[in-house]
Structure formats: C-alpha cells, structure tokens
Amino acid sequence: MCDEIIVGGTPKDKIFDDGNITYLKVNNLRFDLKLNFNNKYFITENTHNKELKRSQCYPNDVLMNIVGPPMGKIAIVPVYF
C-alpha cells in the first residue's frame, strides 16, 4: 500500500556541506534496496523545514530515482541514517 507519492527537490543554493541534516542525492541510492553513505551531504535545518519540506523522508519510505542514469535505483530508508 502506498500512502503518498512525492517528487523530491533540490535546494536552490545547492550547498550540501553547510548544515546538520542529511540530504540524500541519487548517488546515495543503490540497486539492492539500501542507501550508500560513502558520500554524505548536508543541508541546514532551515532549508530542510522550509524549501524541502515536501521532500522529507522517513524510516521505511521507498525512494526511487526517476531521472539521470542509471535509472531504477530503489532504496528503503533505514530507521537510522
């Protein structure tokens, strides 16, 4: 069952090292339903709660890339990330 489908977003300033909230990009998705955290990106709490409010993900959410190669990566958000 799916409650809601949301299209993610990218912050306008595209600064991914200034903040304490983990920001997931397409390269964090793998083909085995897991997330790859070799590259970590961060955004500010302000960006997280305002500009990207509709793109927030939670444990057990299913993430899928729909743009950029390679297509079809899917991951399930773990309880701790």
| pLDDT tens-digit map of 23-36 | 888 889 988 899 98
Mean pLDDT, range 40-50, rounded to an integer: 90
pTM for this model (two decimals): 0.78
Judged against a pLDDT cut of 80, whether residue 2 lies above it is answered with no
The pLDDT, as a whole number, for residue 81 is: 59
What is the rounded distance in angstroms from the CA atom of residue 21 to the CA atom of residue 50?
Answer: 13
| pLDDT at 1 > cutoff 70 | no
Distances (CA, A) of 66 to 8, 29, 33, 73, 81: 10, 12, 15, 8, 22
Kindly state the average pLDDT of the residues 13-41. 86
Confidence of residue 14 (pLDDT cuts 50, 70, 90): confident
